């Protein structure tokens, strides 16, 4: 699991340290008990990525009160943690693990520069590796995200690969966009190792930092929703703010009978997105996204064809929205948590929004004494999880 997910579980259990209470406007909903935890890059920046621990911070909600979390940072260089992974040799890149709706297993993919063999890692509930399943992945592309369905693990083979000269320079990311390199999506069997490897579907070149969800489409194929960037890692390391090209929430439908992929845009100009975590690997109806630039939060009801857009107002920028379900409720019945920055006042807010009414008044606003940094990973864990 990611650092944010591990830290959220610790904080929600009550074992994580926290400091004085935070001011809350409105009333935190009954039943909203847990922790929202984020990780971000060290403020020293990308010039020394291996020697700086990521920052870990967040907010714990309990009994109608809010506390700012102060959590110990992981070991220097930590990112996506995969305890016990035999594949974790120096330089190995591990995609953010994803857990299916059963909660029994996590899945991820490990890629090592210089190797044409990747590994599908099956993780137990606590993050330890249960199985390692190798498969051919020529060129060792950078893989940030995977998705799961009831039958498959979804793998992205995209035109960003390791650049040896950049790695030898020792500054910034050693990965670069490779013009002309084909792009494709692969389906790996989830239940057992398949020596034939993934079933591949060609797509137009792009990059995927984040998978929203995927599901089997009545046995005919697979539907995959992601945040799709036109390009990525196409600028020098010191210009990373403009590194990723225009992004959108995009859907591919993979046809197993024809071996083809068809795509369409679900939400234009969206930088980050999420769905109800209980629908992981199953058909989902709702998607929540952050508009590019962070000026708005967007909710899309795929079944009804209805879109909600909540503008944050001048000087405010939203982080990645996180859906938190009401205990025992149906999909979409719950809250959308958004960490926002007030750039003018250099302060932050945690917005607690009704998922069914994003444009209505917030159910609660938790005020933060300073503006939170951009989160690399963000996770929610409820009490008793």
How far apart, in whole angstroms, are the C-alpha atoms of residue 204 and residue 261?
10
Of how many residues is the chain composed? Answer: 385
Does the CA dihedral 149-152-158-164 come out positive or negative?
A: positive
How far apart, in whole angstroms, are the C-alpha atoms of residue 175 and residue 88?
18
- Give φ, ψ of 188 to 5 degrees: -105, 140
Is-contact 41 240, C-beta < 8 A? no
Supply the DSSP string of 67-106, one letter for each residue.
EEEE----STT--B--TT-TT--TT-EEPBPEE-TT-S-E
Distances (CA, A) of 183 to 189, 240, 264: 20, 22, 16
Among the residues of the chain, which ranges form H helices? 3-12, 164-169
Predicted confidence pLDDT, tens digits, the chain (385 residues): 554 555 555 455 554 555 678 999 999 998 899 999 988 765 554 433 444 455 778 899 999 999 988 766 554 443 444 544 444 566 889 999 998 878 788 999 999 998 999 999 999 987 789 999 999 999 999 999 999 999 999 999 999 998 776 666 655 678 889 999 999 999 999 988 999 999 999 999 999 999 999 999 987 899 999 999 999 988 654 444 445 668 999 999 999 999 999 999 999 999 999 999 889 999 999 999 999 989 999 999 999 999 999 999 888 999 999 999 988 788 989 999 999 998 878 889 999 999 999 999 999 999 998 877 776 788 898 864 4
Mention every residue, 6+ apart, whose C-beta is less than 8 A from residue 138. Answer: 116
Distances (CA, A) of 342 to 58, 190, 295: 17, 43, 11
How far apart, in whole angstroms, are the C-alpha atoms of residue 200 and residue 216?
16
pTM greater than the 0.95 cutoff: no
| Burial class of residue 333, CB neighbours in 10 A (0-12, 13-18, 19+) | middle
Token duo for residue 2: 């990611």
């Amino acid at each position: 699991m990611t650092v944010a997910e591990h830290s959220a579980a610790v904080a929600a259990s009550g074992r994580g340290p926290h400091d004085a209470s935070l001011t809350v406007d409105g009333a935190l909903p009954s039943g909203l008990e847990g922790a929202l935890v984020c990780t971000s890059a060290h403020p020293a920046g990308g010039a020394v990525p291996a020697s700086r621990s990521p920052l870990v911070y967040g907010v714990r909600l309990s009994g109608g009160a809010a506390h700012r979390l102060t959590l110990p940072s992981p070991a220097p260089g930590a990112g996506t943690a995969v305890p016990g992974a035999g594949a974790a040799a120096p330089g190995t890149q591990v995609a953010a693990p994803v857990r299916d709706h059963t909660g029994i297993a996590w899945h991820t993919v490990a890629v090592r520069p210089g190797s044409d063999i990747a590994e599908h890692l099956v993780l137990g509930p606590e993050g330890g590796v249960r199985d390692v399943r190798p498969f051919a992945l020529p060129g060792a592309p950078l893989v940030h995200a995977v998705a799961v369905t009831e039958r498959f693990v979804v793998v992205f083979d995209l035109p960003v690969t390791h650049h040896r000269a950049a790695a030898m320079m020792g500054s910034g990311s050693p990965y670069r966009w490779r013009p002309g390199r084909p792009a494709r999506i692969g389906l790996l069997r989830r239940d057992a190792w398949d020596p034939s490897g993934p079933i591949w579907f060609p797509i137009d070149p792009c990059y995927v930092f984040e998978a929203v969800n995927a599901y089997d489409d009545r046995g005919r194929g697979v539907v995959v929703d992601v945040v799709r960037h036109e390009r990525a890692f196409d600028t020098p390391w010191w210009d990373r703010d403009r590194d990723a090209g225009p992004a959108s929430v995009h859907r591919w439908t993979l046809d197993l009978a024809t071996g083809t992929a068809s795509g369409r845009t679900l939400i234009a100009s969206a930088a980050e997105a999420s769905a109800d975590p209980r629908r992981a690997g199953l058909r989902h109806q709702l998607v929540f996204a952050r508009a590019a630039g962070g000026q708005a939060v967007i909710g899309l009801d795929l079944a009804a064809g209805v879109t909600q857009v909540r503008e944050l107002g001048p000087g405010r920028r939203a982080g990645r929205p996180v859906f938190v379900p009401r205990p025992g409720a149906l999909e979409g019945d719950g809250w959308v948590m958004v960490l926002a920055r007030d750039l003018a006042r250099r302060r932050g807010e945690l917005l607690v929004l009704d998922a069914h009414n994003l444009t209505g008044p917030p159910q609660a606003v938790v005020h933060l004494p300073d503006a939170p940094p951009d989160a690399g990973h963000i996770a929610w864990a409820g009490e008793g999880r």
